[in-house]
Amino acid sequence: MQRNATTQYPLLLVHGLFGFDRIGSQEHFHGIRQALNNAGAQVFVPYLSAVQCNETRGEQLLQQIDRVLSGTGADRVNLIGHSQGALTSRYAAALASKKVASVTSVSGPNHGSELADILRQALIPGRLSEQVASAVATLFAEWLSLLSGHAGLPQNAIAALTALTTEGVKAFNGKYPQGLPDTWGAEGPELVNGVRYYSWSGTLQGSLLREGKAVLDPMHLCCRALSRYFTVEREQNDGLVGRFSSHLGKVIRSDYPLDHLDTLNQTAGRVRKEVDPVNLYVEHAERLQMAGL
């Protein structure tokens, strides 16, 4: 049956850390843009710094929102941000609410990431370990930008990591609290300053022996290994972000059986049987359409 996800406003898929729009035939949001297009949505993927603080990425996004509005004739956009892309989208919506109809956080660290806390603590400012890690991560980000055709974007790995820590996001939330829940683990207000807020995310579930073909995916194994470092949200995380830390606005669901990269439809997502990550985006576009967005 033909899906109908013809939203009133264009959709912008906003990538997170080490993200890109397209490298050759490989899209960061693998198969998602095409599925949304097939369902009638008008979709764009902004190109942003792969490693940078939320505010710098947010300013880049604001510039590209203006380009989309100018090119399409629309007066608003729907932002769907994955991981740090959720914080980037929240920044843009807070500063330009009249240009943003909705913000959807997908696996977004809206209260910070415990994993980022551990990494930040391990890299002592001014020490060689921090300098080497920063240089390697920044070079990798520059390489990704070069391959995607957007060389020259400013990259700062330490700024990005600090922005994703619990303290970093706490400071960010103090400036841009729109859509945040008042109580840990609850939902936030769905409508703030004319912008609707939504979120969804996943968690690692069950034993590895029950994962089927996902056990062959090195990125899924990596997420499982990293999940062991969580304490506050032990067994309630996707390997990079905690379940309740992801809550923003109307929580569609925060315990899909998906790891952090599954929600991008990356390798592990293509062999999932429990839930189709691509369909989640199409369903959400239909939800936005029904809401007049």
How sure is the predictor about 157, in pLDDT bands with cuts at 50, 70 and 90? confident
Nearest to 260 by CA among 211, 217, 214, 202: 202
* Residue 177: band (very low, low, confident or very high) from pLDDT cuts 50, 70, 90: very high
pLDDT tens-digit map of 89-136: 999 999 999 999 999 999 999 999 887 777 666 555 554 445 544 554
More confident residue, 139 or 154: 154
Q: Give the mean model confidence (pLDDT) for residues 55-61.
A: 94
Q: With 70 as the cut, is the pLDDT of residue 227 above it?
A: yes
Average pLDDT (51-60) is 92
Which one of 18-32, 63-77, 117-131 scores highest in mean pLDDT?
63-77
Q: Is 83 noted as a catalytic residue in this protein?
A: yes
In sequence order, which residues have a C-beta less than 8 Å from that of residue 140 and are 6 or more positions away? 18, 50
- Longest distance between any two alpha carbons in the chain, whole Å: 58
Q: Reply yes or no on whether the pLDDT at 137 is more than 90.
A: no
Angle at which helix 84-95 crosses helix 54-72, to 10 degrees, equals: 60
Out of 83, 89, 105, 245, the active site residue is 83
Residues 82, 111, 220, 260: which is the catalytic one? 260
Q: What's the chain's Rg over C-alpha atoms?
A: 18
Residue 183 is classified by DSSP as S
Q: Which of 21, 238, 259, 262 is catalytic?
A: 238
Q: Which of 6-15, 27-36, 59-68, 202-211 comes out lowest in average pLDDT?
A: 202-211
Distance of CA 183 to the CA centre of its chain: 22
Percent of the chain at pLDDT exceeding 90: 46
CA distance 23 to 282: 23
> Which pLDDT score, from 0 to 100, does residue 116 have?
78
Lowest mean pLDDT among 41-45, 162-166, 284-288: 162-166
Distance from C-alpha of 44 to C-alpha of 183, rounded to nearest angstrom: 34
Instruction: Compute the distance between CA of residue 171 and CA of residue 54 in angstroms, rounded to an integer.
Output: 11
Choose the weakest-confidence range: 161-170, 201-210, 278-287.
201-210
Lookup: tokens for 167:
């303290």
Please give the pLDDT value at position 212. Answer: 60
**Residue 255: is its pLDDT beyond 90?**
yes
Name the average pLDDT for the chain.
Answer: 82
Confidence (pLDDT) at 125 = 57
**Which CATH number fits the domain 11-290, given the four candidates 3.30.70.2190, 3.90.190.20, 3.30.499.10, 3.40.50.1820?**
3.40.50.1820
Query: Known catalytic residue: 238?
Result: yes
